[in-house]
């Protein structure tokens, strides 16, 4: 039996090869683009580590809400990021530090529900990298597969990114997670060129589109990716 399609064909999961790779930045850039085009997109960050209740604006959830033009009240935060933890650790470790755990079934149900409820483009931002543990049994990869959402894999252009990106792609393919695109986010002061990184990846990823986000022309890459995600 093939993969079930989500209720919203324009729903995507944004994941990455690791932490601090630019997932939130990319989600916000896409949201701004769609809103400037007259769209009403949705975005969620269901699992969030490193959340400081006294300064929600500094969190990933706060950035998403600001980009969506929504408030920063706790009900607003709860609506898009229900699983929040204080420690800036992998989600499983951050939850354990508070004597809590992530209910995986509830997380998957929430993800599928909000992805289907939004009538327009919707982005679900993951946490950490593809294989970041959520609990003792599940990783972000399991979350993506169970939610049955296609994903965008965000990578960098630093030395070593090729191996990290191809390993993440292989991990996703093992659970039949559809990858709509790989986005190579230019790494500042990298010893490896962005163009060379993208070109090398294209030889190994089959038909998966590789989109570059060059700091000198970010708008072009965002427009290309937004069009790809909206055309599915």
Which residues is 42 bridged to in the sheet?
Answer: 122
pLDDT for position 83: 98
Q: Is residue 220 part of a domain?
A: yes
Q: Is residue 3 part of a domain?
A: no
Catalytic residue (choose from 5, 7, 45, 174): 45
Q: Please count the structural domains in the chain.
A: 1
- Rounded distance between C-alpha atoms, residue 77 and residue 62, angstroms: 7
Domain holding 132, by residue range, is 11-230
Query: pLDDT digit string (tens) for 74-86?
Result: 999 999 999 999 9
Kind and range of the H or E run holding 230: helix 218-230
- Rounded distance between C-alpha atoms, residue 5 and residue 189, angstroms: 40
Q: Is residue 5 part of a domain?
A: no
Query: pLDDT digit string (tens) for 167-196?
Result: 999 999 999 999 999 999 999 999 999 999
Q: Is residue 116 part of a domain?
A: yes
Q: Is residue 1 part of a domain?
A: no
Q: Is residue 4 part of a domain?
A: no
- Rounded distance between C-alpha atoms, residue 178 and residue 176, angstroms: 6
Query: pLDDT digit string (tens) for 15-68?
Result: 999 999 999 999 999 999 999 999 999 999 999 999 999 999 999 999 999 999
208 by Cβ neighbours in 10 Å (0-12 / 13-18 / 19+) ranks as middle
Q: What is the mean pLDDT of the chain?
A: 94
Q: Is residue 76 part of a domain?
A: yes
Kind and range of the H or E run holding 142: helix 140-147
Q: What is the CATH number of the domain that holds 122?
A: 3.40.50.300
45 among known catalytic residues: yes
Rounded to two decimals, what is the model's pTM? Answer: 0.95
């Amino acid at each position: 039996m093939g993969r079930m399609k989500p209720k919203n064909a324009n729903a995507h999961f944004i994941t990455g090869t690791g932490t601090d790779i630019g997932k939130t930045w990319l989600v916000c850039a896409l949201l701004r683009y769609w809103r400037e085009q007259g769209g009403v997109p949705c975005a969620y960050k269901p699992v969030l580590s490193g959340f400081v209740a006294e300064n929600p604006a500094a969190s990933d959830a706060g950035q998403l809400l600001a980009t969506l033009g929504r408030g920063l009240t706790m009900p607003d935060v709860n609506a898009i990021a229900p699983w929040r933890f204080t420690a800036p650790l992998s989600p499983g470790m951050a939850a354990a530090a508070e004597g809590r755990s992530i209910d995986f079934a509830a997380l998957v149900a929430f993800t599928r529900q909000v992805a289907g409820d939004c009538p327009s483009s919707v982005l679900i931002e993951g946490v950490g990298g593809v294989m970041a543990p959520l609990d003792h049994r599940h990783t972000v990869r399991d979350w993506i597969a169970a939610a049955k959402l296609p994903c965008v894999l965000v990578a960098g252009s630093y030395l070593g990114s090729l191996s990290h990106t191809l390993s993440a792609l292989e991990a996703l393919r093992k659970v039949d997670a559809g990858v709509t695109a790989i986005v190579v986010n230019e790494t500042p002061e990298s010893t490896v060129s962005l163009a060379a990184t993208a070109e090398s990846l294209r030889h190994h990823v089959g038909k998966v589109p590789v989109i570059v986000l060059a700091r000198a022309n970010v708008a072009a890459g965002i427009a290309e990716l937004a069009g790809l995600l909206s055309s599915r």
